[in-house]
Structure 1
């Protein structure tokens, strides 16, 4: 009986090994076979990705994704799932890679793979222009909005443990009285209603905050930076060949200056190098 159990176990191990081998390169094979790279982006992620006047997806991340697709010799197709669906890692083949300048934390690395860092985000606090707040400590005890499933949410809860490459210890300079997570990207809409109407402040990456202000929102950014973090492309683990192709594409864009030019085009700042 024990021999039979051992035989079954060995057979099962062989099946798993064969299946794993068969899955190696599966994503890249699908992308090449369909001539399509399906990319998850957002419709209201500031200059990362948004719907332009023609109701077409546009933005820095969209252009970078198209450049990666061109390097692979395929077309880019875009889908727009919610951010928390992307970070959950349950993609089920609906997209091949995700943009969004995702911070490659250890917790996320349990579900996702991060083949290439292409951006460096600075997290800031944004207040209404009529707010009396001039420094981060003025937000102590206030109502603060954040995008759900982001490092800004962790910061607001004082649970952010920076575990990305080159991370510096976090210094919390205030404690919100209430933290409101948003999954639909309308935290700036609530803040623009007025100081303290629904929110006293929003925590966000600097580029998104400046985009809102340039779009006419009556907001301002407090001078102090909360923290800086790398932003990476995300894929599902298991296809090293696919990840390597993405990494090479991004390296080529860094080496020939394309990545810097796109950042400056969209943001007026080169966010592709760490400050």
Structure 2
């Protein structure tokens, strides 16, 4: 019996040792890969409005694109963009397919379990949007209605009453309505196309971020934003959880941009206002 217990203890000790060695081996792995390849691979979207989109020359541009390039400059590396789906980005477990995710991700409690958030770089509102012909005048009027959201978004968590903030000094979320049906989409633009067909044709409303919604309205979509906003939240840089050294480097680059006024300048460039300060 004593010999058996000794063998079990030895096996447990070996397992712990292997786990510690693996953890140590992973430490700095992402940063080493980026510096050795001289390439920072960044996940972004091609149809996220002023966040990131393709211009007339089919080049990726936007607020987040400019920030990613500044991070690359700070690290002394080139930036390469990839465009996975938002739900894939927020799921974590990236397996080295990209190093940083843009998209102004809200650092919720659920996401913080699989992703690190080195720095917040924008503050904005999530809003309820209706067709201009809708009789709704406030979010509460959407009780029991069909509401569209982007899959994996914080607005999806909101309409399902599952949004748990994980950012510093976050106020408790107040749910202003409960939909009768929630329809998820691969991107907000697809939901926009459904809502533009008319009030109640496919959707009664959409819950989405204010920035992208403003951009759609400016482009001619027949929408109205209902007041008040659903909630205010920060947008953060996202990295995988397995490399604190890399996370710290990203945090330092973002702090430099904030301190020297770069974030303010870029926000005004793309939004006309400074959204880099906390609301």
TM-score, structure 2 normalization: 0.94
1:202 alignment partner in structure 2: 206
Query: Matches of 2:248 and 2:221 in 1, distance apart?
Result: 40
Unaligned ranges ≥5, structure 1 = none
1:260 alignment partner in structure 2: 264
SS in 1 for 2:235: strand
Change (3 A) 1:65 1:101: same
SS in 1 for 2:117: strand
Count of aligned pairs between the two proteins = 275
Matched, 1:184 2:177: no
Superposition deviation, residue 106 in structure 1: 1.6
Superposition deviation, residue 180 in structure 1: 0.8
Superposition deviation, residue 13 in structure 1: 2.2
1:44-193 alignment runs, 5 A limit: 44-185=47-188, 186-193=190-197
Change (3 A) 1:74 1:9: same
Query: Matches of 2:62 and 2:38 in 1, distance apart?
Result: 22
Partner deviation per Cα, 1:88-142 (whole Å, 9 max, x = no partner)? 1121110001011111112111111111111112011111122222212222222
Partner deviation per Cα, 1:190-232 (whole Å, 9 max, x = no partner)? 1111111111111111101101111121112123111111111
Matched, 1:272 2:276: yes
Query: Matches of 1:158 and 1:120 in 2, distance apart?
Result: 21
Query: Matches of 2:173 and 2:99 in 1, distance apart?
Result: 33
SS in 2 for 1:226: strand
1:21 alignment partner in structure 2: 24
Superposition deviation, residue 81 in structure 1: 0.5
SS in 1 for 2:20: helix
Runs of 4+ in 1 over 3 A off after TM superposition: none
Superposition deviation, residue 144 in structure 1: 0.9
1:241 alignment partner in structure 2: 245
Change (3 A) 1:36 1:145: same
Matched, 1:215 2:213: no
Superposition deviation, residue 268 in structure 1: 1.3
SS in 2 for 1:225: strand
Q: Which has the larger displacement, 157-166 or 182-191?
A: 157-166
Q: Which has the larger displacement, 87-96 or 11-20?
A: 11-20
CA RMSD across the alignment: 1.4
Change (3 A) 1:13 1:141: closer
Query: Matches of 1:6 and 1:171 in 2, distance apart?
Result: 50
1:229 alignment partner in structure 2: 233
2:45 alignment partner in structure 1: 42
Superposition deviation, residue 244 in structure 1: 0.7
